[in-house]
Amino acid sequence: MTPDQSAPEPEPSLADEPEVRQAIADGDRASVAAVVTGHPSSPLAWTELADLADSEGRTLESFAFASVAADLAREQLTAGGWQPGDPVSWSDEPNRAYLRALDTQRRAAEGLGLDERAARLADELATADPEAPARIASEFTPTQLITIVGGAAVLFEPAASAEAIVGDPIAEPAATDAAAGED
């Protein structure tokens, strides 16, 4: 590096929140609101709450929670020198809270018929990190929180007719001892 060159400034990043990540990992769906209450300035906690509301079809709440998450994240990023339009890298894990919040807010805006806002949020997300939308779609889909397939018995029982299966609720899988009966 020559005297005329300066070291590149580090990209602004959200603060790492290991205690929030641990609280979310240790908890369940019902405890996410308590994590937010315990960490009200955490973009990650609010993003998790927004994603939970989204997965449960609570569009209005999802929009509100994601809005708070994105605003808190923008405040943190701005304090680190970030300006709107600057990149926010997905590869820096703490930044994912902001990027996920933008995407959750975008989906909720679409669901509420706020098409112009949804388009602005999509642009903000793509400007922050062009790869983020695809990463979010593949790694943080709302269906990851929803039980898709019930117990194995449902898969192997013969159905009397197609109508008997359509619309029937699928029971939650029973907890089994992983070691019992395995070869």
Per-residue pLDDT of the chain (183 residues; tens, 9 = 90+): 555 566 556 678 999 999 999 999 999 999 999 999 999 999 999 999 999 999 999 999 999 999 999 999 999 999 999 999 999 999 999 999 999 999 999 999 999 999 999 999 999 999 999 999 999 998 876 544 433 333 333 333 344 444 444 444 444 445 444 444 444
Give the pLDDT score at 141.
60
- 169 lies in some domain: no
List the CATH number of the domain containing 101.
1.25.40
Residue 67 within a domain: yes
Answer whether residue 10 is part of any domain.
no
Nearest to 151 by CA among 178, 181, 182, 175: 175
Domain membership of residue 167 (yes or no) is: no
Residue 52 in domain: yes
CA distance 70 to 76: 10
Q: Cβ neighbours of residue 116 under 8 Å, at least 6 residues apart? A: none
- Is residue 47, in this structure, part of any structural domain at all? yes
Please enumerate in sequence order all residues whose Cβ is within 8 A of that of 55, keeping only pairs 6 or more positions apart, or say none: 142, 143, 144, 145, 146
Residue 2 lies in a domain: no
Domain hosting 48: range is: 18-142
Residues 6 or more apart whose CB falls under 8 angstroms from that of 16 comprise 93, 94
> Residue 12: its pLDDT value, please?
82
Distance CA 157, CA 153 (A): 6
Question: How many structural domains does the chain have?
Answer: 1
Instruction: Assess if residue 164 is contained within a domain.
Output: no
Claim: this prediction has a pTM higher than 0.95: no
